[in-house]
Amino acid sequence: MNPVSEECSAPAEHALPIDLRQFLTHEHHRIHLVGVAGSGMSGLAALLIELGHTVSGSDKASTMETDRLQRLGLRFYEQHRPELAVTADLIVFSSAIKRDNPVLVAGRDSGKPIVRRAEALAAIMRAKRGIVVAGMHGKTTTSAMTAHVLRESGLHPSHYVGAEIPILGINAHWDLRGEYFVAEGDESDGTLRYFHPEHSLILNIEEEHLDFYADLAAIEEIFEQLIEQTNGTVFYNIDDANAARLCATRKNAISFGFSDAADYRGAEVDLHAFSSDFCVYSRGQKLGEAVLNVPGPHNVHNALGVIALAVELGIPFEKIAASLRKFEHARRRFEIKYESERFLLVDDYAHHPTEIRATLKTARATGRKRVLAMFQPHRYSRTKALCTWFGHAFEDADRLVVTDVYPASEPPIPGISGQTIVDEVLKRGHRAATYQPCFERIHCDIGNALDVGDLVLSLGAGNIHEQLSILAADLVIAEKLRAIVGESGEVRLYEPLSKHTTLRVGGPAQFWVEPQSENAFAALIQFCRDETLPLFVMGRGSNLLVRDGGIRGVVVHPCGGDFDKIEVNGSEITAGAGVKLREVAYAARAANLDGLEWMEGIPGVVGGALRMNAGAMGAQTFENVARIRYLDSEGNPHVKNRDELEVFYRRFPLLENNFAISATFGAQPGERAKIDNRLRESQEKRRTTQPVAKSAGCIFKNPDGIPAGKLVDELGLKNSRVGNARVSEVHGNFIVNDGGATATEMLELIDRIKQAAKTKRGIELETEVQIVGEPGS
């Protein structure tokens, strides 16, 4: 073995002044665990509490696991304080703990016995008949399956596995009644060498943890030692070349797998979406059929190992098969987070290329149309060492989004990030892999790409499952919204609002909804009220600056159906909230109606024009409004005539809490030639005085005394910029997006202009453009 990490080779071990097995399993002491929140350490803490010790633990942060342990009796400290060593009779530390940890330093100085996690575990195991499950992949599932089968057979095993296992109730348990102790052996830090089990189950051996091991030979050395130290039987996967090479020639070895040469052979395997059926043969004789309710061929392999072991322990095959049928997955092992006919969301712990391939194959086998994967690389060292393998691992993902690396206590390695993996994947010809450095955005990237029939998979050993949980919770709401708007409407998750604003900036809308009818809109209003979801209405987005963090809640975009209707009735034109103002101007022209030509120059829709009493060419919307139809904040419809409405320059308070459905504009019969002239005049004015660029129209309201554009011009701020946001050289009241500008840049430029107007001219500029949404992270 060749340790290459200083951190993992940790404190010097010294000859213990105690008999550790006696100390841990026959006496009661005060034991302190350094790094107690880790998945392995928390299991050990549970065992020690059950063994009757007074257990304390320290970690840099509390977790759900430490909360649970506190309820069992753990004294938890959120700081590694030296005095914690002083009161302890024994200190146990995790491999993630550095040599200079204050508790370890104090413990060493005061001559306290200090042991590693695995050393303590191995000593506890020596009090029972130990069974160690080891291998690079599948050991949590397999050790849980072993403990489950032994438990169902009435053997009362104690167990220790590295994750929460709902079917076992808890990740570690000491059972006084039973003889066996089933433990997941961790190969990552060389501590497998502490175990002297009665039996071991070797699943697979390959390159992994290359932060600790120099190469495969160093890994094999540690497995060989475990095999040497196994005094009963070594059960090994014959289909894994490395495991087979190490074990095949040993007298005490029993093989399992699909190979004809396997002592326990699986055959006639039938893989289903979430289960598998297979036949089991023992040395040529059929034992019977098994059904496994966890998916994937790799789990059939794992089950064959458990069957071999259990049969050799004397458990009848029928009993084993009955227990396997009941087995449920560990948390984060192909764990279904959301399931419907339309979508399937699954979380998996896979973080090694071999595991990723296997999990993606299982995902593929569910028969869903597409597999969308979000992957969080785990550890810089693994990302670097295995990056070429990662390049081949995602062939079964139709779309892949990679986050940055989850460090797991490692310092960054320059040049290594999620992009490293994306580069490798793209090199292998994958077409749809992207890097998303902002962790909180990853669910948005995947969620926005979601289509009916998709399976979404979160992959990684860090905290990527949190992003899938957010997506799952939002999908529940999105599906309710879809039921409200029906087939003709549209619901999208995390729609980038930069696609829907004329300025082309803005983060995502949590829920983007396009209702097509007034009834659907009313039902949406009621739903948002009941669910206390914010609701924001967005028209053409022509007078809107959405911040980079997007808009939380439901963004309603009334378009199509009722909202696109336009009707001419005598000298009145009634237009839905989604109709472009320009269309109203041309409908009036077609009907030879006069007075609405100015609308030609407004890029927005009727709803937006009402909301802000938009104007151009000296006219404003409400000068032409006869009446409006709107929904109140409870979704009830109302119609109000112009004289009942309070309206101001660029402000219409009623629609601040109510929602426009349509407006009826009054016009008067006119001559086509005169109408055409005025339309041309408006076009000409726009063409000559306003920029042809991505903008939100005028940014500021005109203050008293001077048009804002003229003021900005006089301040000499034309063409000034922040990033890609720039004051137009054509008109000082327009800020244009030169391409890829952010809301943050826009807002900073707006601020600079306001500052200049205030300090140089004493004028308080007020924005006309509506600024909404959350700041970007």
- Please report, as ranges, the residues that interact with ligand EPU according to CB under 6 A: 601, 614-617, 685, 689, 697-698, 701-702, 707, 709-710, 713, 731-733, 768
Q: Which is nearer to ligand EPU, 255 or 728 (CB)?
A: 728
SS3 annotation, 23-65:
HHHCCCCEEEEECCCCHHHHHHHHHHHHCCCEEEEECCCCCHH
323-to-136, 328, 334 alpha-carbon distances in Å:
25, 10, 20
- Helix H or strand E encompassing 629: strand 625-631
Pairwise CA distance, residues 330 & 133, whole Å = 15
| Chain position carrying tokens 């570690």 | 172
Q: Read off φ and ψ for residue 65, nearest 5 degrees.
A: -65, -45
Q: Taking CB positions, which residue lies at the least distance from ligand EPU?
A: 697
- Strands 114-116 and 285-292 turn out to be unpaired
Q: HEC states along 244-257?
A: HHHHCCCCCEEEEE
- Give whichever of 250 and 685 is closer to ligand EPU, judged by the CB atom: 685
Would you call 264 helix, strand, or coil by DSSP?
A: strand
Q: Reduced to 3 states, what is the DSSP secondary structure of residue 477?
A: helix
Closest approach of Cβ 734 to ligand EPU, in Å?
A: 7
Please say which residue, 515 or 603, places its beta carbon nearer to ligand EPU.
Answer: 603
Nearer to ligand EPU, 325 or 710 (CB): 710
Min. distance of Cβ 674 from ligand EPU in angstroms?
Answer: 18
C-alpha to C-alpha distance for 300 and 277, rounded to whole angstroms: 9
Q: Which is nearer to ligand EPU, 550 or 697 (CB)?
A: 697
CA distance 397 to 358: 12
CB contact at 8 A, 264 and 255: yes
User: Closest distance between ligand EPU and the C-beta of residue 593, in Å?
Assistant: 20
Strand partners, 569: 572
- 184 tagged catalytic: yes
Q: CA 198 to CA 201: how far, in whole Å?
A: 10
3-state secondary structure labels for all residues of 287-332: EEEEEECCCCHHHHHHHHHHHHHHHHCCCCHHHHHHHHHHCCCCCC
Nearer to ligand EPU among residue 67 and residue 684 (C-beta): 684
Calculate the alpha carbon distances from 420 to 196, 446, 651 in Å: 40, 20, 51
Length of the chain (residues): 777
- Do the beta carbons of residue 11 and residue 99 sit within 8 Å? yes
CB atoms within 10 A of CB 767: 18
Report the SS3 class of residue 118: helix
Give the active site residue among 66, 140, 233, 362: 140
CB of residue 730 vs ligand EPU: minimum separation in angstroms? 7
| Tokens standing for residue 572 | 């009145």
Residue number, 31 or 503, with CB nearest to ligand EPU: 503
Residues 6+ apart with CB under 8 A from 362: 295, 296, 298, 334
- Find the catalytic residue in 50, 119, 128, 139: 139
Q: Is 427 a catalytic residue?
A: no
Asked if residue 336 lies in contact with residue 301, where contact means CB atoms within 8 angstroms, the answer is: no
Q: First-to-last CA distance in the chain? A: 44
Q: Which is nearer to ligand EPU, 413 or 617 (CB)?
A: 617
* Residues 6 or more apart whose Cβ sits within 8 Å of residue 598: 585, 615, 616, 617, 618, 619, 678, 682
What b-and-e string marks burial along 25-43, b requiring 16 or more CB atoms within 10 Å of the CB?
A: beeebebbbbbbbbbbbbb
Which is the catalytic residue, given 152, 184, 187, 355? 184
128 a catalytic residue: no
Exposure on the CB side of residue 206, measured as CA atoms within 13 A: 16
Residue 774, both tokens: 């959350």
**Of residues 595, 502, 703, 50, the one with CA closest to residue 584:** 595
Q: Are strands 158-160 and 180-184 parallel, antiparallel or unpaired?
A: parallel
Residue 536 CB, nearest approach to ligand EPU (Å): 20
Distant-in-sequence, close-in-space partners of 528: CB < 8 Å, separation ≥ 6: 534, 535, 553, 554
Give the span between the Cα atoms of 642 and 632, in whole angstroms. 17
Residue 685 CB, shortest distance to ligand EPU, in Å, is: 6
- β-strand pairing of 90-93 with 172-173: unpaired
Nearer to ligand EPU, 282 or 728 (CB): 728
Q: Closest approach of Cβ 601 to ligand EPU, in Å?
A: 5
- HSE at residue 79, side-chain half, CA atoms within 13 A, is 3
Could you tell me whether strands 637-641 and 433-435 are parallel, antiparallel, or unpaired per DSSP bridges?
unpaired
Q: Which is nearer to ligand EPU, 470 or 617 (CB)?
A: 617
Q: Which residues are catalytic?
A: 139-140, 184
